């Protein structure tokens, strides 16, 4: 009669691994869509963070829209900042270079995450953007130092760590290109 001995063998089933890959892939796409939605809302004033009037109506493509000359950063940086870095952020509110960097970041991060390419770079850029937004509201409203910016940053780091672009996206195909083989940071 043989006695089975557990020698530290991983008993994770194939289903668990497939489920984890699917969850990371879906999380990557979802976070990409959050960045893309923020881009389009600020570009076109779709009424979520941009374009909602005081009476509750939405001024689609109105003066708040970036395409109509509105600033995607002015409102938040000028009046939504607080804490030790508020004055620094308020001083750059509405600057053209800040608007362009912010919008390019939202679009680039959103597209890269949604399609599963440049995940490591877009995760790093996303963490930088989110941590700047976190600094702008220190201390956060509901906790001494943790808020959604910190949580999203941790998720972005997790996406990069598990190569989440390989799941439910173009990451595997992208990773086989000669440039990515030569420069793995482009994964």
Q: Is the pLDDT of residue 183 over 80?
A: yes
Kindly indicate the confidence band of residue 60, based on its pLDDT and cuts at 50, 70 and 90.
confident
Cα of first residue to Cα of last residue in the chain, in angstroms, is 51
pLDDT in tens, 71-90: 999 999 999 999 999 999 99
pTM for the model: 0.87
Q: Please provide the average confidence, as pLDDT, over all residues in the chain.
A: 91
Q: Is the pLDDT of residue 116 over 70?
A: yes
Percent of the chain with pLDDT strictly greater than 70: 94
Least confident of 12-16, 54-58, 125-129, 138-142: 12-16
Taking the CA atoms of the chain, what radius of gyration do you get in angstroms? 21
């Amino acid at each position: 009669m043989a006695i089975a001995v557990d020698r530290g063998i991983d008993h994770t089933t194939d289903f668990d691994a497939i489920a984890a890959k699917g969850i990371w892939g879906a999380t990557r796409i979802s976070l990409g869509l959050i960045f893309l939605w923020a881009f389009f809302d600020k570009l076109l004033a779709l009424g979520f963070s941009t374009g909602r009037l005081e009476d509750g109506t939405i001024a689609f493509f109105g003066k708040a829209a970036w395409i109509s000359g509105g600033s995607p950063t002015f409102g938040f940086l000028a009046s939504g900042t607080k804490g030790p870095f508020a004055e620094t952020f308020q001083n750059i509110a509405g600057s053209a270079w800040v608007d362009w960097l912010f919008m390019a970041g939202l679009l680039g991060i959103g597209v890269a995450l949604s399609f599963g390419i440049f995940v490591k770079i877009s995760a790093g850029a996303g963490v930088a953007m989110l941590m700047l937004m976190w600094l702008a509201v220190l201390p956060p409203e509901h906790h001494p130092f943790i808020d959604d910016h910190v949580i999203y940053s941790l998720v972005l780091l997790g996406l990069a760590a598990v190569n989440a672009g390989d799941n439910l996206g173009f990451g595997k195909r992208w990773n086989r290109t000669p440039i990515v083989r030569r420069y793995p940071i482009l994964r």
